[in-house]
């Protein structure tokens, strides 16, 4: 379970730095928030930009014992 959590955090961290320092037109993005409604809003924005969801909504418990939701999308 620790390895799964670590790999997920590395993926999310890598994606956040890519969003800050990477090109504006990305082939792969991850929407993540503490509320599933906020993730859905983010996903809908990317769908309007031509992205397609890769999978369903996922959730994980953080070190602070709160829940973080995320969903990956790819460029169509």
According to the model, what pLDDT value does residue 24 have?
61
* Structural domains of the chain, with CATH: 2-75 (3.30.110)
58-64: long-range contacts, CB 8 A cutoff, minimum separation 24:
60/5, 60/8
pLDDT in tens, 1-55: 666 667 766 666 655 555 555 556 678 899 999 999 999 999 999 999 999 998 8
Buried b / exposed e along 44-64 (16+ C-beta atoms within 10 A): eebeeeebeeeeeeeeeeeee
According to the model, what pLDDT value does residue 26 have?
78
Q: How confident is the model at residue 64 (pLDDT cuts 50, 70, 90)?
A: confident
According to the model, what pLDDT value does residue 37 have?
93
């Amino acid at each position: 379970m620790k390895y799964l959590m670590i790999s997920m955090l590395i993926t999310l961290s890598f994606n956040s730095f890519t969003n800050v320092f990477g090109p504006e037109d990305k082939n792969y993005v991850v929407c993540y928030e503490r509320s599933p409604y906020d993730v859905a809003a983010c996903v809908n924005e990317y769908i309007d930009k031509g992205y397609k969801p890769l999978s369903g909504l996922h959730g994980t418990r953080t070190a602070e014992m709160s829940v973080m939701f995320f969903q990956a999308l790819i460029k169509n």
